[in-house]
Structure formats: C-alpha cells, structure tokens
Amino acid sequence: MKEIPPQLVYVKQRGLFAREKGGRLLNSAEASWLHTLYITYAETLYRIACYRLQDANRAQDLLHSVFLAAAQKVPALQAHENPLGWLLRALNYELSHEFARQAKQTAQEQPLHPSPAGLAPTPPPSLGLAEVLPVQLSPRDREILLLFYEEGLSYQEIAQRLGVPVSTCGTWLSRARKHCRAYLSHSPGFPD
C-alpha cells in the first residue's frame, strides 16, 4: 500500500509527479511533498474507502482519484491548514459519486423477477464523515474526529468548545485516531 499507484507517475530522478493524461507537472519540492502526503495518508484513506464500499478494488480506484485531484491542486493543498481533512472531503466526494453511479447502474439493470412496488432501492444520500467513521467508536472519539476533520477546528478551538485543556484535546484526538485505525483494520473486506 506504500507504493505510488500506477495511475500516478513519479519520476524520482527528475522529481516530477503528474497525471497520465497530460496533467500539470510539479516541481521537485511539490512532488516530494505530495509523495510524503501519499505515504502518510494513503493507507488510512484506503481503509475508509474499503470500509464503506466493501470492495478493495473500487476502494483503490477511489484512492487514486483522490490523489490525482490532489496532484492538480498541490499549491492550494500545501497552503491548506488541514491536508488530511481536504483529502477526507475529496474521498467523501468520490464515495458519494460512486454510490450514485451504483444506484444508477442498479436502476438501469432489468431484474429477473420484478420487485414489489415501493421496494426499489433509493440512492444513498451524500456521505458525511460521521457516516464514514466506524460505528464502534465512542461518542467522544467520534465527536473529536468530526470537530477536527469535518469542521476543520484547531486544537485550541476544540479545547475551548469541549472545555478541556489543549493538551487533553491533543491526547483525545490521538487516541481517537488510534481507535479509528484499529476498528477499520479489523473490518471485513480489508486485506491483512
């Protein structure tokens, strides 16, 4: 999971990172930063996508789409205060489009046996981070992850909102990430 996906071309000797289909070329500093971002967060994003889709291949495709989008927006992403939050939103966007595509494909397929009226599948709503997080997380873990990643609050803002010291906020967030990672890694559909 730590290697650069085949859809992204990383030329180490020149420091270029680009889309296969004529995307924007990055300078060596941008390519290095994006490579570090991929190495740091790809596995987490992959596990979330796997958890939601229950399909490892489609999860890999969506992960690559997220990083292709990131490659096109590296300067803006470097300036972003929460790159993981940006990546999670991009993944959420890709997941919602995937579910809409699946619903449309299901609606176009002719069933062998017509289903009773009123039992047709409804397209899933746009997913928020709350729907992507494992259900086993405690309310506190869920809340702090949502405040940090979905609302984009800083440690100070979260600490103020929860009425705890900033150091406690950092500890809680670290534990929440650890718990989330553990639950995602034990979910069905994940490779060992």
Sketch out the chain's domains with CATH numbers: 1-104 (1.10.1740), 133-192 (1.10.10.10)
Distance, in Å, from the CA atom of 165 to the CA atom of 10, rounded to the nearest integer, reads 42
Task: Calculate the CA dihedral of residues 77, 81, 86, 87 and round it to 10 degrees.
Answer: 80
Give mean pLDDT, residues 69-88.
86
Segment 137-144 long-range contacts (CB within 8 Å, at least 24 positions apart): 137/176, 137/179, 137/180, 137/183, 138/179, 140/172, 140/176, 141/172, 141/175, 141/176, 141/179, 141/180, 142/176, 144/169, 144/172, 144/173, 144/176
Residue with the bigger pLDDT between 133 and 11: it is: 133
- Identify the pLDDT of residue 108: 67
Burial 23-50 (b: 16+ CB within 10 A, else e): eebbeeebbebbbebbeebbbbbbbbbb
Distance, in Å, from the CA atom of 184 to the CA atom of 134, rounded to the nearest integer, reads 7
Q: Which of 31-45, 122-136, 164-178 has the highest mean pLDDT?
A: 164-178
Give mean pLDDT, residues 171-189.
82
Residue with the bigger pLDDT between 4 and 131: it is: 131
- Identify the pLDDT of residue 114: 54
Q: How confident is the model at residue 140 (pLDDT cuts 50, 70, 90)?
A: very high
Give mean pLDDT, residues 96-124.
64
- The length of the chain is 192
- Identify the pLDDT of residue 138: 92
Q: How confident is the model at residue 20 (pLDDT cuts 50, 70, 90)?
A: very low
| In the predicted structure, residue 160 carries a pLDDT above the cut 80 | yes
- Identify the pLDDT of residue 133: 82
| In the predicted structure, residue 50 carries a pLDDT above the cut 70 | yes
Q: What is the pTM of this model?
A: 0.53
Q: Tokens 């405690």 sit at which residue?
A: 138
CA distances from 95 to 64, 148, 171, 192 (A): 12, 20, 30, 23
Q: How confident is the model at residue 127 (pLDDT cuts 50, 70, 90)?
A: low
Listed range (10-14, 22-26, 76-80, 165-169) with the worst mean pLDDT: 10-14
